[in-house]
Amino acid sequence: MAVLRLGDEAPNFKAQTTEGEIDFHNWLGDSWGILFSHPADYTPVCTTELGTVAKYTDEFNKRNVKVAALSVDGVESHHGWIKDINETQNTTVNFPIIADEDKQVSELYDMIHPNADNQLTVRSVFVIGPDKKIKLTITYPASTGRNFDELLRVVDSLQLTAYHKVATPANWNHGEDCVIVPSVSNDEIPAMFPKGHKEIKPYLRMTPQPDLN
């Protein structure tokens, strides 16, 4: 099985979901995407995660991000579980949960790690760009719930650095100063970064976030 790496094309697939059948690439369209897997329906940590994602709908929409969850259970099970999620997390799940009973998608995305569990998917996360290329992967064990604030922060960084010649430093958050990438010469900086910059070292040059007014 091929391991998906950054820059690889996200494999396309057709699957049944709680919102009907989707063709993954067509469903993404021109949006960014987050595909994330869960060990199983009716599990406690997953219940909190899906509830959290539903509460972050406005934040994902602001960033033009479509979100899809997956587990190896079927659509009927997913629908029953959604009722529990809505009730216990005080929200409304409004994104598709993919049914992967035959593990087709799990195999495509290497979501089953036999040394952890040979049947259930681990907590995989794939951030996918509008070009359908994989921009980020994170894998959590089943025992550790994901930090969706961190995923929003990562999307902010990915979207910023996709369109501007900057990188984001440690613990960066939206609105903070960025690093000018080494490929930009000092002579190019005034035109590219009119807000100015600070040179800490010749290889470490900081500038205000360029896409903010």
Residues involved in catalysis: 46
Reduced DSSP (H G I as helix, E B as strand, rest coil) percent helix, strand, coil of the chain, to 5: 30, 25, 45
Which residues neighbour 182 within 8 Å (Cβ) at sequence distance 6 or greater?
A: 203
Partners of 71 in the β-ladder: 99
- CB atoms under 10 Å from CB of 203, counted, come to 9
Tell me the backbone φ, ψ of residue 169, rounded to 5 degrees.
-75, 180
Structure tokens at 65: 């991000």
b (16+ CB within 10 A) / e for 134-159: bbbbeebebeeebebeebbbbbbbbb
